[in-house]
Amino acid sequence: MNILENDIEKILISKEEINSIENAMAAQISDDYADKNLLLLCILKGSVVFFSDLMRKITLPMQIDFMKVTSYGKGSTSTGNVRILLDLHREDFSAVDVLIVEDIIDSGRTLSTLVEYLKMKGCRSVKTCTLLDKPARREVEFTPDYTGKIIPDEFVVGFGLDYAEKYRELPYVGILKPSVYTKEDNPD
Ligand code: PRP
């Protein structure tokens, strides 16, 4: 057992449930993109676990690529834009149907900005899928095209999601014990 599991209050979504969520989503995407030119786009780092499952479960030829973005002033509510740390470079934007893969949507800023950005680049189509959606945290209106599970406003980690860059490797989505992030010596 990973010692970090001691910090988990409870498992919110088991690996079995995640597996069945992924199977259903991958089947739907495989139907919907059968006549398209799928580019599956991973938004680093959080979505990497979900992404690597999804790309193996979708039964279509595809290309994959990666972007890394961060919200300005993440953790505050005052700013709107996202900063691109790793961009998508292609010569054939107009030939690809991009499906952005996220682990979670909170404020909605990352995905709403990315969708506009990729449309502006000239992609033939841009859609979004997310494993988790936390609508209670929304600051801009945004509805993903494919949603794995709507979750309450809890501090979740695991399956790619981190707290202070830890817990990403846990094989389920768990709720973090509040004592972990309310410690006095915590820099965050
Ligand atoms: C998380 C998550 C999304 C974004 C969602 O990434 O992976 O990209 O936040 O939040 P939003 O809806 O409020 O924009 P984060 O910036 O924590 O980086 P990480 O994926 O590297 O952990």
Instruction: Give the CATH number, domain containing residue 127.
Output: 3.40.50.2020
Report yes or no on 8 lying in a domain.
Answer: no
Instruction: Give the position, in ligand 1's atom list, of the atom nearest the Cα of 108.
Output: 12
Q: Residue 32 catalytic?
A: no
Which of the listed residues 81, 106, 133, 170 should we mutate to test ligand 1's pocket, taking the one with most ligand atoms within 8 A of CB? 106
Q: Tens digits of per-residue pLDDT, 129-168?
A: 999 999 999 999 999 999 999 999 999 999 999 999 999 9
**CA 173, CA 188: separation in Å to the nearest integer?**
21
Distance 70 CA to ligand 1 centre (A): 7
Exactly one of 53, 97, 103, 106 is catalytic; which is it?
106
Report yes or no on 47 lying in a domain.
Answer: yes
Q: Which residue, among 108, 131, 114, has the nearest Cα to 53 in the 3D structure?
A: 131
Averaged pLDDT score across all residues of the chain: 93
Between 182 and 185, name the one with better pLDDT.
182
Domain range enclosing 43: 15-151
pTM of the model: 0.93
Report yes or no on 177 lying in a domain.
Answer: no
Ligand 1 pocket, Cβ-based, cut-off 6 angstroms: 43-47, 70-71, 74, 102-110, 162
Distance 35 CA to ligand 1 centre (A): 30
Q: How far from each other are the two terminal CA atoms of the chain, in whole angstroms?
A: 27
- Using CA positions, which residue lies closest to atom 16 of ligand 1? 70
Q: What's the mean pLDDT in 58-83?
A: 78
The answer to whether residues 82 and 110 touch, using CB atoms and an 8 Å cutoff, is yes
- Give me the number of domains the chain comprises: 1
- Using CA positions, which residue lies closest to atom 5 of ligand 1? 105
Report yes or no on 108 lying in a domain.
Answer: yes
Report yes or no on 61 lying in a domain.
Answer: yes
Report yes or no on 173 lying in a domain.
Answer: no
Report yes or no on 167 lying in a domain.
Answer: no
pLDDT band of 79, cuts 50, 70, 90: very low
